[in-house]
Amino acid sequence: MSKLKCRVCDFKSNDLVDHIETEHAALGGLDWYMDEFPVGKADVIHPSLSGEKREEIEVGGKTVTVQGVRLPVNKAPGPYVPSVNPTYHFAEFAQDLANDVLENKRVMLVGHTGTGKTSSVVQLAAITKNDILRVNLNGQTSIGDFVGLWTVKGGEMKWVDGLLPQAMRKGYWLIIDEIDFGEPAILGVLNSVLETDGQLTLKENDGEIVTPHKNFRIFATGNAIGCMAEYRNMYPGTNIMNDAFLDRWRVYKVDYLPPADEVKVLKGCVPKLSAKVAIRIVAVANDIRKSFEAEDVQCAFSTRRLIDWSEQMIRHRNPIKAAESTIFAKVSKEDSETIKGIIIRMMDPNAMESKGGK
Exposed, middle or buried: residue 235 (CB in 10 Å: 0-12, 13-18, 19+)?
middle
What pLDDT is attached to residue 52? 37
| pTM listed for this prediction | 0.78
Condensed to tens digits (0 to 9), the pLDDT of residues 46-56 reads: 433 333 333 35
Output the 3-class SS for the chain: CCCEECCCCCCEECCCHHHHHHHCHHHCHHHHHHHHCCECECCCCCHHHHCCCCCCEEEECCEEEECCEEEECCCCCCCCCCCCCCCCCCCCCHHHHHHHHHCCCCEEEECCCCCCHHHHHHHHHHHHCCCEEEEECCCCCCHHHHHEEEEEECCEEEEEECHHHHHHHHCCEEEEECHHHCCHHHHHHHHHHHCCCCCEEEHHHCCEEECCCCCCEEEEEECCCHHHHHHHHHCCCCCCCCHHHHCCCEEEECCCCCHHHHHHHHHHHCCCCCHHHHHHHHHHHHHHHHHHHCCCCCCCCCHHHHHHHHHHHHHHCCHHHHHHHHCHHHCCHHHHHHHHHHHHHHCCHHHHHHHCCC
What pLDDT is attached to residue 23? 72
Condensed to tens digits (0 to 9), the pLDDT of residues 133-155 reads: 999 987 678 888 899 999 988 88
What pLDDT is attached to residue 140? 73
Which residues have a Cβ under 8 Å from the Cβ of 258 and sit 6 or more positions away? none
Residue type, 188: G
Q: Tell me how far CA of residue 226 lies from CA of 57, 101, 122, 230, in angstroms.
A: 31, 22, 23, 9
Beta strands 4-5 and 12-13, pairing class: antiparallel
Q: Tell me how far CA of residue 60 lies from CA of 77, 88, 202, in angstroms.
A: 17, 18, 40
pLDDT along the chain (358 residues), means of 10: 67 74 68 60 40 48 85 93 89 94 96 91 96 88 89 88 96 95 88 91 92 96 88 82 91 92 90 88 93 88 92 94 96 95 85 50
